[in-house]
A and B are shown apart, each in its own frame.
Chain A
Amino acid sequence: MLIHRPDNITPFEITPRPLFDRRREFLRLSVGAVLAGVLPAAQAKLGPIRPSAYSIGETQTPFKHVTGYNNFYEFGTDKEDPARTAHSLRIRPWTVSIEGLVRQPKTLGIEDILKLAPLEERIYRLRCVEGWSMVIPWLGFPVASLLKQVEPLGSAKYVEFISAVQPDTMPGVKNRVLDWPYVEGLRLDEAMHPLAIIAVGLYGDVLPNQNGAPLRLVVPWKYGFKSGKSIVRIRFTDSEPRTSWMKSAPREYGFYSNVNPEVDHPRWSQANERRIGEFSKRKTLMFNGYAEQVGQLYTGMDLRKQF
């Protein structure tokens, strides 16, 4: 016969009832399986990743919130804006110039920066000055590894971190809510502290644009705004940098901006925080829970005055 009729369907070809009923979940699991196959590839792109003793064991904030609730004013002042608009950011070619009080200024390409030091996974708390917090598995390396590429002069006391301005890709910089480019800064010993990292990824993959691709600062014991995103310039100085937020509201944002439940911000109480995804609030910890590691950087300082 020309027309072939199929045999009766054999039992093993029939989708089991529970799976048939849970098609959505089945699909999700399949996608998960595919992604699991892709992840090693992403790691290959970023190189091998090692765990770090500085990581904390607290529940990590879901990826969708880490990448969907961002303060990145260059892409708009609503927290949902960056996830929507930051795809346009040009992240290649990307260079970082290290200059100021150094013996030999240098400009490094992102490809070379990625090879500077072995990547580590650092699971850190992130505390925003607005009273919310997250736990984020960053991928990166100590800031010190980058700063050691140049020889700072003895007179260098501070480091300024300057973020990119791309007027054609950043809808937010038309709005002069802050003095662009975004400038942040650290004291040299803070920047050299092993907890301070340059992050180039999160959740096992390259850094999403809305989180500050291709490289950003992460200083976990300070309020989130101290960790500049999409860094293009690093400058060693002998005087305290005037950061964008200090220029915008000097009474509200100090140079140090260490997480401190005892020093209140005029707009938000800093005693408590809401961990994203949780209902009740948590007590905010001194130096965001990193007091043991960084406390000695501030001995003898009045943290109320030098906030």
Chain B
Amino acid sequence: MNPALIKPPLFLACLAPLAYFAWSAEADTLGANPIEAVTRGMGFWALNFLLITLAVTPLRKFSGWTWLVRLRRMLGLFVFFYAVLHLGTYLWFDQFFDWSAIAKDILKRPFITVGMATFALLVPLTVTSNARAIRALGGRRWQQLHRSVYLIGLLAVLHYSWMVKADVSKPLLYALMLGVLLGFRVWWRVQERGRQMAGAGLPKPSRRIIPLVVRK
């Protein structure tokens, strides 16, 4: 499968939630509190894309479709895209750029604090999602940095559940989905360790052999 063929339609599909909200706003079908509907809708889709992005690797491993990983960067950037819209609607339509009120809100309301932290953590990942940054950081450090996406996932679900007044059934569903996705990682790590431990008995594990190249 050639990812170059999938990318353009996938890009358009990722814009569909935004198009839906724009169309609904125009048609006045967002209900009595359209601003709240848009703010929540954008946050909801940032979280959805986060889970979709986190699903890429498990899906690749189970299906063997290695090309999936080449869609991951775009999906990840859409997390940031919807997070910017989510934060933007809050700053503009909810607070009207009243910075002192915003600062107070961040300090006082735990779910806002967590939301802001989540957004702040997304920024370095967005900035470094290009080949140049990978080269500059080196693959290993780049990967370490991008592991913060697991923390972002946990914070995003926490932000969602603290926002809800009483009925936490939907946040719980998201926590469950995130748990499954992160659970795969834990499981793979445990397996990897097992392999390494089993290999420890051997005089020299093959993967640690450093080829000697005689240089002049």
Contacts and interface: CB of A to CB of B under 8 A. Distances in A.
Interface of A: 64-65, 68-69, 73, 77, 79-80, 130, 132, 175, 177-178, 248-249, 264, 266-269, 271, 274, 276-277, 279-281
A80 B166 contact: no
Interface of B: 31-33, 35-36, 93, 96, 101, 104-105, 108-111, 162-163, 165-167, 169
Given A80-B31, A267-B162, 12 more contacts: A64-B32, A69-B32, A177-B167, A248-B166, A266-B108, A266-B109, A267-B163, A269-B109, A274-B33, A274-B35, A280-B96, A281-B96
Contacts of B169: 175
B101 A269 contact: yes
30 contacts: A64-B32, A68-B31, A68-B32, A69-B31, A69-B32, A69-B33, A73-B166, A73-B167, A79-B31, A79-B32, A79-B33, A80-B31, A130-B165, A132-B33, A132-B36, A175-B167, A178-B166, A248-B166, A266-B108, A266-B109, A267-B111, A267-B163, A269-B104, A269-B108, A274-B33, A274-B35, A274-B36, A276-B32, A277-B32, A281-B96
Contacts of B110: 266
A65 B167 contact: no
A177 B166 CA distance: 6
Contacts of B162: 267
Nearest to B104: A269
A80 B101 CA distance: 30
A231 to B, nearest CB: 21
A69 B33 CA distance: 8
A113 to B, nearest CB: 30
Contacts of B108: 264, 266, 269
**3 closest Cβ contacts across the A-B interface?**
A69-B32, A77-B167, A65-B32
